[in-house]
Amino acid sequence: MATAFPFSAIVGQDEMKLALLIAAVDPKVGGVLAFGDRGSGKSTAVRALAALLPKMKVVAGCRYNCDPDRPVEFCDDCRGRAAKGALKSAQVPVPVVDLPLGATEDRVVGALDLERALARGEKAFEPGLLARAHRGFLYIDEANLLEDHLVDLLLDVAASGENVVEREGLSIRHPARFVLVGTGNPEEGELRPQLLDRFGLSVEVRTPNDLPSRIEVVRRRDGFESDAAAFTATWAREETKLRKKITSARERLPSVNVPDSALERATRLCMALGTDGLRGELTLMRGARALAALEGKSSVSDEHLRGVAPSALRHRLRRNPLDDAGSSVRVDRAIAEIFG
């Protein structure tokens, strides 16, 4: 796609935008799932994020986007080269890699490079999408329709942060840590619970139903379609501002303080909701901290917990599949009880 719709020009959808920004500030929150109505701008937001993100530093020429400042996490190539001499680094855009439905396994994990093998008889590894997405985002549109064997693969890699390839006589392992971003429409099927669990934040997206925002959405879309370059230019300033916000939030993140009282509240909230495991608390804490960093605060407060709790917890409730009352309602109720 030539030009992406500017992130800051997306009308409404605050929860989704916030979740994506939080993931951009702290990739450790573990992915964003956006489920909702057709035509509500889910894919637009993800693609817009790609254009928004600040560039990142990589080892020049590395096929796995290794970070020159973290030699511990180097791939085998970089390790070999680092032993011989200093590595050059380069600035590249953060990868936002599409995992299209219908992708085959060899392209996802990587496989023997067929061209070199056939033409020259060489055994070389051709990295797949997981390698390309390392330190960036892996985006699955219509995640609920992804074929099961690819889901299994993703689950394995997302859990270990490493892609292990054993095929065609190749034996390769390389780092593959990425933020999983999935979108989908619940009418077309549910997401496998195991995959659901992998997403740190889950947001529900609805088409705005108040007239002024609907008009604004259409107007901006219309403006973008008629002249993408001019439209993007008018939003360039907003985009730069937002980009700066992400950069400074990333710098601030390690120093943001999480007081004991906030930890206690987070735990109480998770207990009240009966979420499984500790992942809910962890995501809640990380998300709140990233939110505090985004807002330029030095310490996590109740407001931040409140802001993140619905997206961090709604997909972790032990679900009664027959309960019509949405999980969001239950989370809201629990928040109201605990935060008063």
Partner 1 sequence: MTAALAWSDAVTAAQLFALDPIGSGGVLVRSRAGPARERWMAMLRAALPPSGPLKHVPLHISDGRLLGGLDLHATLLAGRPVAERGLLAEADGGVLILAMAERLSSATTVHITAALDARETIVERDGISLRVPARFGVIALDEGLEDEFAPGSLGDRLGFHIDLNEVSIREADEFATDQPAISEARERLSALRTDAEQVEAMCTAAAALGIVSLRAPILALRVACASAALSRHDAVEHDDIALAARLVLAPRALVFSQQQEPAPLEPPQEMPPSEGDDNADKDNPDIERPLDEVILAAVQAALPPDVLAALRASSARSRGRSQGKAGALQKSNKRGRPAGVSRGELRAGGKLNVIETLRAAAPWQPLRRREAAASGEPSRPRILIRKDDFRLSRFKQRTETTTVFVVDASGSAALHRLAEAKGAVELLLADCYIRRDQVALIAFRGNAAELLLPPTRSLARAKRCLAGLPGGGGTPLAAGLDAAFALSDSIRRKGQTPTIVVLTDGRANIARDGAQGRPRAEEDAINAARQLRMADITTVLVDTSPRPGPSGGALAREMGARYLPLPHADATTLSKAVLASMG
Catalytic residues: 279
Burial 220-249 (b: 16+ CB within 10 A, else e): bbeebeeebeebbeebeeebeebbebbeeb
d(Cα 144, Cα 188) in Å, to the nearest integer?
8
Q: Calculate the alpha carbon distances from 332 to 34, 91, 226, 273, 326 in Å.
A: 18, 42, 41, 10, 10
318 touches partner 1 by CB under 8 A: no
Residue 303 DSSP label: H
**Least distance (Å) from partner 1 to the CB of residue 190?**
6
8, 43, 248, 301: residue in contact with partner 1 (rule CB under 8 A): 43
In the list 79, 149, 173, 237, the residue contacting partner 1 (rule: CB under 8 A) is: 149
Residue number with CB closer to partner 1 (148 or 260): 148
CA-based torsion, 105, 196, 283, 295: positive or negative: positive
At closest approach, how far in Å is the CB of 243 from partner 1? Answer: 24
Nearest to partner 1 of 209, 255 (CB atom):
209
Which of 147, 156, 264, 337 is close enough to bind partner 1 by CB under 8 A?
147
Site string for partner 1, 231-270 (x = CB under 8 A): ----------------------------------------
> Which of the 8 DSSP states describes residue 299?
B
278 is an interface residue for partner 1 by CB under 8 A: no
Which parts of the chain fold into alpha helices (H)? 14-25, 42-52, 76-84, 105-109, 114-120, 129-132, 148-160, 193-198, 211-226, 228-252, 260-273, 279-294, 302-313, 327-339
Binding mask 153-192 toward partner 1 (x if CB under 8 A, else -) reads ---------------xx---------------x-xxxx-x
The string of DSSP codes covering 263-282 is HHHHHHHHHHHT-STTHHHH
> How long is the chain?
340
| DSSP letters for 320-331 | -TT--S-HHHHH
Q: In terms of CB distance, is 69 or 324 closer to partner 1? A: 324
In whole angstroms, the minimum distance from the beta carbon of 222 to partner 1 comes to 6
Q: Which string of x and - marks every residue 207-236 that binds partner 1 (by CB under 8 A)?
A: xxxxx--xx-xxx-xx--xx----------
Stretch 107-136: interaction string toward partner 1, x if CB under 8 A:
xx--xxxxx-xxx-x-x--x-xx-------
- Interhelix angle 14-25/42-52, rounded to 10 degrees, is 40
Distance from C-alpha of 324 to C-alpha of 322, rounded to nearest angstrom: 6
Contact 30, 77 (CB under 8 A): no
**From candidates 15, 26, 67, 141, binder to partner 1 by CB under 8 A:** 141
User: Phi and psi (nearest 5°) for 295?
Assistant: -85, 0
Q: Is 100 in the site for partner 1 (CB under 8 A)?
A: yes
Residue 92 φ/ψ, nearest 5 degrees: -130, 155
> Would you say 107 or 268 has its CB closer to partner 1?
107
Asked if residue 63 binds partner 1 (CB under 8 A), the reply is: no
Q: Min. distance of Cβ 261 from partner 1 in angstroms? A: 38
Give the residue carrying structure tokens 């020159």. Answer: 68
For the bound state, the minimum distance from the C-beta of residue 41 to partner 1, rounded and expressed in Å, comes to 8
Binding to partner 1 by residue 332, rule CB under 8 A? no
Residues of the shown chain interacting with partner 1 in the complex, contacts defined by CB under 8 A: 1, 37-40, 43, 98-108, 111-115, 117-119, 121, 123, 126, 128-129, 141-142, 145, 147-149, 168-169, 185, 187-190, 192, 207-211, 214-215, 217-219, 221-222, 225-226, 320-322, 324
